[in-house]
Amino acid sequence: MPHLSNTGSTLADWLKAREKLHKFFTGETIILRDIFVFTDEDLARTDIMPSFRPIGTTNRTAVRWKKRLGVEVFEEKDVIQYNQSRYGNAPELYFINRSERPDPNTLGENAKTPDGLVALQKKMPQGQSWLGLYGWCDADSLYFAITGKHLDGGIWTWFPNDRLGSGGVTSGGWDPDAGRVGLCWYCSVYRSGCFGARLARRVPLKS
């Protein structure tokens, strides 16, 4: 595992850390600034982090990479069964809030069902969506590699667009009692103040 604990606080620093993780996972060297369009303002920010999905990766890829970092993962259902497991023909990068808990406007009294979150997403600006299972696993792996901590300890993040054929919706979080990441599913109308979501902003590819 690469030594990333001395990573700086800016997004630019965290992008470099994600490049080192990519090298560790795949043996391939990448430069994210050569692939995606970043503003100087975003690169200087200290409150956001990246979630990167290379071409051809699946939910299984993200889980396998977590295990390479020594992280145990519990899958209530095989993660490949969710409808967004397999992805397209272009790499993707998203920005999410750099916080150990889901976005505060989706928790507690503001909590929504997965169906309610999907309805909200339809009103979002183009390029914004709720973070999915793959994206959360990738972000958590980077967060863990840098900080030694996990996202969403004792709480859960919905992945409202990651669904089973039966309609069940997946969620993820760090279970401190079991000492592992949990990827579990619930019905699409379930609501709990301990379940939130994470807004993801898509970064454009360079033309």
Residue 133 has phi, psi (to 5 degrees) of: -60, -50
Instruction: List pLDDT tens digits, range 73-102.
Output: 999 999 999 998 877 789 999 999 999 999
Instruction: List pLDDT tens digits, range 120-161.
Output: 999 999 999 999 999 999 999 999 999 999 999 999 999 999
What residues contact residue 84 under an 8 Å CB cut-off, 6+ apart?
Answer: 59, 132, 133, 134, 159, 161, 162
Distance between CA atoms of residues 119 and 39, nearest Å: 30
What residues contact residue 46 under an 8 Å CB cut-off, 6+ apart?
Answer: 9, 10, 11, 98
Dihedral sign for Cα atoms in the order 51, 137, 4, 68: negative
Instruction: List pLDDT tens digits, range 1-32.
Output: 788 999 999 999 999 999 999 999 999 999 99
Distance between CA atoms of residues 13 and 7, nearest Å: 6
Site of tokens 């272009």: 90
Mean pLDDT on 49-57: 96
Site of tokens 């993707």: 92
- Buried b / exposed e along 6-24 (16+ C-beta atoms within 10 A): ebeeebbbbbbbbbbbbee
Q: What is the CA radius of gyration of the chain?
A: 16
Mean pLDDT on 32-48: 98
pLDDT of residue 9: 98
Mean pLDDT on 42-49: 98
Dihedral sign for Cα atoms in the order 134, 136, 141, 142: positive
Split at pLDDT 50, 70, 90, the class of 107 is very high
* CA distances for 92 relative to 89, 135, 165, 169, angstroms: 10, 10, 25, 22
